[in-house]
Amino acid sequence: MNEGMKVDRESLSVFIMIAEDLYKNKAYNEAITYCKMILSEFPDIKDAKILLYKSLKGLNDPTALNVLNELLNEYPDDQQIKSFVEPVKKLEENKPEKKEETISSVNLEVMEKIEKENIITANETESLLDRSLGEINKVNGVLGSIIIEESGLVVKSKMIENLDPEITSALFSTIFLVCEDSIGKTDLGPIDRIFIEIGKVRIYLFKGNGYILGIFTEEIVKIGLILIKAKQLLKNIKQVLEQ
């Protein structure tokens, strides 16, 4: 996520929509981050606090109970909030001994290791990139994804069946090269993303830190969710690959 992002009244509905998309796609850690960002500016937004509770509950995080108690105190007559109480009782009765690791938490642990120790093995790099693309591909409607260098060399791919990664990477690199050459003759500024629609398939290309991320999706996928995950991955790629 862009650390410079800030919630205001005009963007509030967009942030809530993004948090809802993240929750629906089980990206609970990211949903929690957005909910907390919303609530830090607007603590009275009930929908954001409900999403925060549901996301924490999705991770079996015990702090979900604290959020639920706050909701019950603030909205004692809300039927939706009341309906959360019984499932929470069952959750407490069957509380696991150890919280299950999620893809996002695994990625976070590896990134923390890089920041603290500035060391990462080749196997860890391969595993992190594989999990990162796997997390993108888990979004409902995503068909495949690929990371390439600006020069066109494939770094990692999880592509649509029968689509050659080498040909795809050369195509994406050329698309950016041609577009940058043409746009460079205007005053429109640099290009950091390109969207292509072919029939019912959409291709999202994002560029940053010397790399290009390509994502193939069906038309049902919302751009907000793809943009979030692309920014997160591009931010981490340089840090991981140039150790």
> Does residue 22 lie in a domain region?
yes
| Structural domain boundaries enclosing 70 | 12-93
**For 154, phi and psi rounded to 5 degrees?**
-75, 130
Domain total for the chain?
2
Residue type, 31: A
Paired with 194 in beta bridges are 205
pTM of the predicted model as reported, rounded to 2 decimal places: 0.51
CA-to-CA separations, 159 to 16, 90, 197, in angstroms, rounded: 31, 40, 17
CA 240/CA 136 separation, integer angstroms: 17
Q: Output the domain CATH number for residue 85.
A: 1.25.40.10
Q: Kindly state whether residues 84 and 27 are assigned to the same domain.
A: yes
Residue 239's pLDDT is what?
61
In the numeric block, the tokens 């990462």 are attached to 120
Q: Output the domain CATH number for residue 176.
A: 3.30.450.30
Paired with 204 in beta bridges are 195, 215
Q: Kindly state whether residues 78 and 128 are assigned to the same domain.
A: no
> Does residue 111 lie in a domain region?
no
Q: Kindly state whether residues 46 and 155 are assigned to the same domain.
A: no
Q: Judging by beta carbons within 10 Å of its beta carbon (0-12, 13-18, 19+), is residue 86 exposed, middle or buried?
A: exposed
Are the CB atoms for 213 and 229 separated by under 8 Å? no
Residue 87's pLDDT is what?
54
Residue 222's pLDDT is what?
74
Residue 133's pLDDT is what?
84
Q: Kindly state whether residues 232 and 129 are assigned to the same domain.
A: yes
Residue type, 20: E
Q: Chunk the chain into consecutive blocks of 10 residues (it has 243) and report each block's average pLDDT, rounded to whole numbers.
A: 59 81 86 89 91 92 90 88 69 48 47 49 70 82 88 85 84 87 77 86 86 87 76 69 58
Residue type, 115: E
Q: Kindly state whether residues 221 and 125 are assigned to the same domain.
A: yes
